[in-house]
Amino acid sequence: MQNTKKPFLEMKNITKCFGEVVANHGVNLDVYPGEVLAILGENGCGKTTLMNMLSGIYFPDEGHILVDGKEVVIRDPKDAFDLKIGMIHQHFKLVDIFTAAENIDLGIKGSSLKTVNARVREIADRYGFNIDPEKKVYDMSVSEKQTVEIIKVLYRGADILILDEPTAVLTLQEIRKLFAILRSMVADGKSVIIITHKLNEVLEVSDRVAIMRKGEHIATVNTSEATENMLTEMMVGKKISLNIDRSEPLDPQPRLEITGLEALNPEGIPVLKNVSFTVNGGEILGIAGIAGSGQKELLEAIAGLQPLTSGSIVFHNPKKNKPVTFYHKSFKRVCELAAAGAFHDPSGKPVSFSGLSKAQIMQLVKEGQVLFNEDEAMNLRDKTPLEIRELGVRLSFVPEDRLGMGLVGSMGITDNMMLRSYRKGHSFFVDRKKPQELGKRIIEELEVVTPGVRTPVRRLSGGNVQKVLVGREISSSPKVLMAAYPVRGLDINSSYTIYNLLNKQKQNGAAVVFVGEDLDVLMALCDRIVVMNSGTITGIVDARTVQKEELGALMTKTYPTDTAKEAE
Amino acid sequence: MIHLAKRDKIHPAAAWGIRIAAFVLGLLVCGLLAFLMIDKLRNNPAKISDFYLSFINGISSSNAANIWMNRKFWVFLKNLALLLCVALALTPAFRMRFWNIGGEGQTLIGVLAAIAVSFYMGGKGKTALNPEWVIIPLMLVAAVIAGALWALIPALFKSKWNTNETLFTLMMNYIAIELVSYFLIVWVPNGSSALGELPYGHMPDLVVYPEKAVAPANKYLLIVLIVLVVSVLLFVYLSRSKHGYEISVVGESERTARYIGINVKKVTIRTMILSGALCGLAGFLIAACLDHSVNTDSVGGQGFTAIMVSWLANFNPLVMIFTSGIIVFLNQGASQISTTFNVSGAFPSVVIGVMLFFIIGSEFFIRYKLCRSRDEGKEKVK
Amino acid sequence: MSWQNWLNFIIDALTFGATFMYGSTGEIITEKSGHLNLGIPGIMCMGGAGGCLMLSLVGGSSLPPFLIVILGILASFLTASLMGAIYCFLTVTLRSNQNVTGLALTTFGVGLMKVIMSNKNIINVKNYLVIPKEYYRWPFSLIQKDLQAADLAAMGGLGIMFFLAVAIAIIASYVLYHTKVGLNLRAIGENAATADAAGINVSRYKYCATIIGSGIAGLGGLYYIIDYMVSQEAYLSLEAFGWLSIALVIFVLWRPHLTIPGSFIFGILFSCSSFIAIIPGITVTMAAKPLLRMLPYVVTVLVLIISSIRNKRENQPPASLGVNYFREER
């Protein structure tokens, strides 16, 4: 039905490059008045870049933008506002020390601060927002900040609202409320563009959906005619059957026992609520959940970077067939333990020492014929990353923010390899020889494309950066390997390299924790999946048997207690 | 329309080409300014060659018998060494992205501490200090501790409460200056506040030219050698030691540092102690090798100039030898000009200011490139 | 100590403080745009030099006194603005490091001022120092004899430029906190990307703020030389008061109207040593003077520390102070 109307906005053949990276290539898009257009695509497919060209943050390298059929040039955000285009960025652009009203009024000529409050209330009433114009932004919740952003755009008289991943940080109730507001705006004749990678939201709220993949526009379809399968197919391209080899876990023994973790973020809001689960050695444990459900805080808590308010993280280090010595235990104690059946010989038979003389026992122990299994358990809570390492716990962590946390962008591969190992030895000086060898080995084995070990890793492509990081983290043959979104933004080949590396670690007996966003990958790679939702665990399921719908339901499940809190 | 893009990398030759072009352009503008300000030059434009020749004459005495006797050259080396020493001191902090602009105060407090030792303990060889030379290491220790302390105070507050270090270290400069005025009044009873040369705690000369004891080489060689050793040591410390590696990581990304278990507070404090201690060393050199006295202008703004020296060298201790050389070269050349053309002694500051504008500005063309796109903004022309 | 002494003391502290009032009001406006301008000492010096240069030309002429006053102020403002423009071009357009650029500007400005002020061919002491003093201290210069007779000599130090400083501080505060322009400017200093996204021309604001701020600071240089000190050697100590102005910015927590009491307090601390001496029962040694002069800096450091410990958001330096803005930074 929209097609009979004139499009309000058209983008024709838009191309944008960043250096050698093509973010958008020949994209065509049109927006009609009074509709919700969803732009659907995986992370890193160029949705945000495309919209940033409408809002004046970036300038297209090629292509035309038409508003009301007339060609326009959008050089900066002001031009966009003049064309009645407003964007709500994923990372809110608000001044923290200003009030809501001040933020809303920012940059508008000729208005007076006195009339702002009244006009804000008027807009709020019209579309059903809840807002206190006098509240400072630093006192606001995420949802309130988003409200300020939306009103800011409406206040400027925008007819086209662009929302970049608006639901990523919201609770289910808040999402419902947002969608209701979006509908009331559309009813008012405005157009809404919503960037998302969530299918259910597309189907729920949009009139039409444009699908993007790897910087290109694939198709635009009417939502009423679309199905989830069809959209997925267009979003990911031809259906990729994930051919990830998954072996049965080998002798799974508890490696990390996590009990009752609670943590607050810097603003004092709970981010982890009573999180308990166990990770076994020799398995891959997946963690699923919408972004910001506490995955990052959980991994950082285990790695010693996130302070906890309660709970424990116990690391088990079972050592098998350890020879008994008299170093720690007296002769008498050894005999007692032997009588209790704690020891065995190399063939695995119990040793009792009955009928042996003291000299014979001493001889057996000395020869290493008496063995025992030991379970060393250490609580890692409140330990710094350094203390954890000094305890001898080989814990590796591939963080989500590769260049901001896992690696130093301006340093070469050699120096980045040293991050983990530079403390080794008593020398005052660093040894660059071994890290360089390691770097060269990783370049060779993982096929990292780089001019050399000295090239700053910032200049490498995303996939190569990740290979360097994962390569370093597994080089210490970890007992626990945690990886947060390790394949985000990577092409298929690189992704498979990473999957294989994780699988290899699993087979080596490491406990692997994999935080992912693609449910298909989680279901194909992991042995068990922990589902998180706003800081709590809503379910732990068997990855081999679980249904996708079930996971989706667990991810968006809300508790009555939460609802009660919302109502307050 | 012209828009900006960050350069991924630039050929070193191109970068140096840009820098040299900026330098030459700066010199031309200096000449132009000189025309406006120097009457002698305006009346006789042909003298402009003298103007530029002064830069050479500024660092080399024309009547020197040999290199050991070339006073201006050795003064150049000495000034270079002092400026370099302060710049080296600031560098570890800058590498950590800790904006220590308190080099002036940290150095001055070092001078003050060394002179205090010499003032109170000098000449007491028969009682406490025996032999007499013991006073020199005592002065060194005092200067180093005082400098380190002056740097430690802002570092402690930075690491505990994230107190703005730029503003804090800046204020510490003036506290140090007033402290010096205070001691001058206490020490000089006649009210002139000018402390003469103290007779004790002089570093011995390093005699390379025995024919003439007062040869400038004999007087200044020791400072030059000490600073040279310090710059090599600091280069090794920053690029080869574990501490230096930690400083780089903290400077590049605090999050990475925490992720790999570096104690950021500890590194901050340790590095600032080193930074202050090296400033103290510079103060000791001024006190024990050169002035044997202290006044509020003992450091003479070198603490601030050193910031630019370090920044221009991209925080590389070896390149700093070169950048401090340029600053001192310009300074002495311009001083020579003020003598030749009879203008204010402040003229060197003008020349250095102008040259810095050009050199600082040239970095822009090294880091960014201008992309021209047609005004319709349809195509990017590379 | 008589009430006249007290009043003289207070007025002296006030008039002395006006130097920093100019300097720090100017610096606050600049810092609110996110630029830490360490070139303020150089800018104040050049403001002084520019004004003195103009007065040397017109001070002895037959122009009407009010025109001479305005020309002096205008020349001072413009010269200092020009310095601010250099700083802006380097830090805003060429994105140079702000600390380094500011220090270079101070080196340049202080040097150039000394070159100009020591050149007797262009600087005419009678014209810039002796004659305009009367004009600038209008209307108090008219009743100077009465004031002296009443033991209130310090009141003669009040004049047009003192009241101008107070007016500028109040206007700057009003503009920053009660107008749209101020709101936009503060937004830039807090978060330039946000301001940019809101359609504010970040570069233009930064240029305007820095140039106007520099001009205001430059007036402080002129005021100090020809109005407060009225001395040929005054220019030599001007640089130190530039740094003190930067201290005052911190002391008043980036609020221009607070520079009025703030500069008064700094003035008291700086000049009290000579006044304390006349209070009966208090003896001040010479040695106490530097310690008293140290106080403004110590107090500033304490304010800096306390505000960082309390960590109240409104009392922090502008969040992006010292960080240059580049829109396409990725």
Q: What is the DSSP letter of C35?
A: -
Q: Is the dihedral of CA A138, A561, A261, A291 positive or negative?
A: negative
Domain B71-324, architecture per CATH: Orthogonal Bundle (1.10)
Give the model's pLDDT for residue B382.
Answer: 28
Any CB–CB contact under 8 A between B197 and chain A? no
pLDDT band at A564 (very low <50, low <70, confident <90, very high): very low
Give the model's pLDDT for residue A44.
Answer: 65
Mark which residues 50-89 of C lie under 8 Å from B by CB. 86, 89
- A283/A254 Cα distance (integer angstroms): 10
Q: Which of A349-363, A436-450, B6-20, B235-249 has the highest mean pLDDT?
A: B235-249
Contact call for B252 and A408, based on CB within 8 A: yes
Contact call for A384 and B256, based on CB within 8 A: no
Average pLDDT, chain C: 89
Minimal Cα distance from A59: which residue of B? B377
Q: Under a CB-based contact definition with an 8 Å cutoff, are residues A281 and A509 in contact? A: yes
pLDDT tens-digit map of A499-524: 999 999 999 889 999 998 777 788 88
Residue C249: name the closest of C14, C24, C99 by CA.
C24
Helix axes C238-251, C288-310, angle to 10 degrees: 30
**CATH fold of A254-318+380-394+477-567:** Rossmann fold (3.40.50)
Q: How far is CA B286 from the centre of its chain?
A: 13
Any CB–CB contact under 8 A between C101 and chain B? yes
Minimal Cα distance from C330: which residue of A? A18
Backbone angles phi, psi at B22, to 5 degrees: -60, -40
- A520/A546 Cα distance (integer angstroms): 11
Average pLDDT, chain A: 84
Residue C323 lies in a domain: no
Minimal Cα distance from C95: which residue of B? B364
Give the model's pLDDT for residue A72.
Answer: 92
Contact call for A459 and B9, based on CB within 8 A: yes
Smallest Cβ distance to A95: which of C180, C191, C330? Answer: C191
Has residue B124 got a pLDDT over 90?
no
What is the number of CB-based contacts under 8 A between chain B and chain C? 164
Chain C contact set for B328 (CB, 8 A): none
Interface test with B, best of C301, C302, C310 (most B CBs within 10 A): C301
Has residue C276 got a pLDDT over 90?
no
pTM higher than the cut 0.80:
yes
pLDDT tens-digit map of A540-553: 999 888 877 777 77
pLDDT (mean) for A340-366: 79
Contact call for C244 and B166, based on CB within 8 A: no
pLDDT tens-digit map of A480-500: 999 998 887 677 777 888 899
The 3-state DSSP class for residue C212 equals helix
Q: Under a CB-based contact definition with an 8 Å cutoff, are residues B135 and B117 in contact? A: yes
Contact call for B256 and A19, based on CB within 8 A: no
pLDDT tens-digit map of B146-197: 999 999 999 999 999 989 898 899 999 999 999 999 999 888 877 777 888 8
Contact call for B261 and A419, based on CB within 8 A: no
Has residue C210 got a pLDDT over 50?
yes
Any CB–CB contact under 8 A between C196 and chain B? no
pLDDT band at C262 (very low <50, low <70, confident <90, very high): very high
Q: Which residues pair with B368 in a beta bridge?
A: B6
A283-288 and A371-379 strand pairing: unpaired
pLDDT tens-digit map of A327-352: 667 777 778 777 777 788 887 777 77
Q: What is the DSSP letter of B205?
A: P
pLDDT band at A289 (very low <50, low <70, confident <90, very high): confident
Q: Which helix (H) or strand (E) holds A532?
A: strand A528-533
- C315/C308 Cα distance (integer angstroms): 8
3-state SS, one letter per residue, for A356-384: CCHHHHHHHHHCCCCEEEEEEEEECCCCC
The token duo for B279 is: 């400033």
pLDDT band at A239 (very low <50, low <70, confident <90, very high): very low
Token pair 């000098």 in the structure block, residue: B122
- Separation in Å, CA of A507 to nearest CA in chain C: 39
pLDDT (mean) for B287-294: 91
Interface test with C, best of B360, B369, B370, B371 (most C CBs within 10 A): B360
Give the model's pLDDT for residue A345.
Answer: 81
Chain A contact set for C330 (CB, 8 A): 18
All structural domains of chain B with their residue ranges: 71-324
pLDDT band at C281 (very low <50, low <70, confident <90, very high): low
Backbone angles phi, psi at B372, to 5 degrees: -90, 125
Q: What is the DSSP letter of A248?
A: P
CB atoms within 10 A of CB C302: 12
Smallest Cβ distance to C330: which of A18, A95, A113? Answer: A18
Residue A376: name the closest of A488, A255, A283, A240 by CA.
A255
Contact call for A409 and B253, based on CB within 8 A: yes
Any CB–CB contact under 8 A between C294 and chain A? no
Any CB–CB contact under 8 A between B32 and chain C? no
- C302/C119 Cα distance (integer angstroms): 42
Smallest Cβ distance to A95: which of C190, C199, C327? Answer: C190
> In this prediction, does ipTM exceed 0.85?
yes
Residue C324 lies in a domain: no
- Separation in Å, CA of A150 to nearest CA in chain C: 12
Minimal Cα distance from B99: which residue of C? C99
What is the share, in percent, of chain B residues with pLDDT greater than 70?
A: 93
Contact call for C195 and A106, based on CB within 8 A: yes
Has residue B379 got a pLDDT over 80?
no
Mark which residues 230-289 of B lie under 8 Å from A by CB. 240-245, 248-249, 252-253, 255-256, 258-263
Smallest Cβ distance to C198: which of A96, A106, A112? Answer: A106
Smallest Cβ distance to C96: which of B172, B346, B361? Answer: B361
Domain count across chain C: 1
- B347/B335 Cα distance (integer angstroms): 7
pLDDT band at A138 (very low <50, low <70, confident <90, very high): confident
- A137/A101 Cα distance (integer angstroms): 10
Which of A229-233, A324-328, B292-296, B365-369 bottoms out in mean pLDDT, i.e. has the lowest?
Answer: A324-328
Residue A482 corresponds to which amino acid? M
All structural domains of chain A with their residue ranges: 2-236, 254-318+380-394+477-567, 325-369, 410-476
- Separation in Å, CA of A138 to nearest CA in chain C: 9
Minimal Cα distance from C183: which residue of A? A106
Smallest Cβ distance to A107: which of C178, C184, C193? Answer: C184
Smallest Cβ distance to B256: which of A73, A388, A408? Answer: A408
Contact call for C112 and B353, based on CB within 8 A: yes
pLDDT (mean) for A74-94: 86
Which chains are within 8 Å of B by 3+ CB pairs? A, C
Chain A contact set for C190 (CB, 8 A): 95-98
Distances (CA, A) of A456 to A323, A408, A436, A461, C182: 47, 8, 14, 11, 42
Give the structural domain span for C38.
3-315
pLDDT band at B378 (very low <50, low <70, confident <90, very high): very low
Rg for chain C, CA atoms, rounded:
20
What is the share, in percent, of chain B residues with pLDDT greater than 90?
A: 56
pLDDT (mean) for C77-84: 97
- C187/C189 Cα distance (integer angstroms): 5
Residue B58 corresponds to which amino acid? G
pLDDT (mean) for B115-125: 81
- Separation in Å, CA of C304 to nearest CA in chain A: 19
Chain B contact set for A385 (CB, 8 A): 258-261
Residue B344 corresponds to which amino acid? S
Among the CATH numbers 3.40.350.10, 3.60.110.10, 3.40.50.300, 3.30.365.10, which is that of A2-236?
3.40.50.300
Residue C251: name the closest of C239, C240, C265, C262 by CA.
C262
Helix ranges, A237-372 (H):
295-302, 331-339, 358-366
Which chains are within 8 Å of C by 3+ CB pairs? A, B
Smallest Cβ distance to A77: which of C197, C313, C330? Answer: C197
Chain C contact set for A113 (CB, 8 A): 178, 180, 183
Give the model's pLDDT for residue A496.
Answer: 83
Has residue C272 got a pLDDT over 60?
yes
Q: Under a CB-based contact definition with an 8 Å cutoff, are residues A450 and A413 in contact? A: yes
Minimal Cα distance from A397: which residue of B? B259
Contact call for C199 and A77, based on CB within 8 A: yes
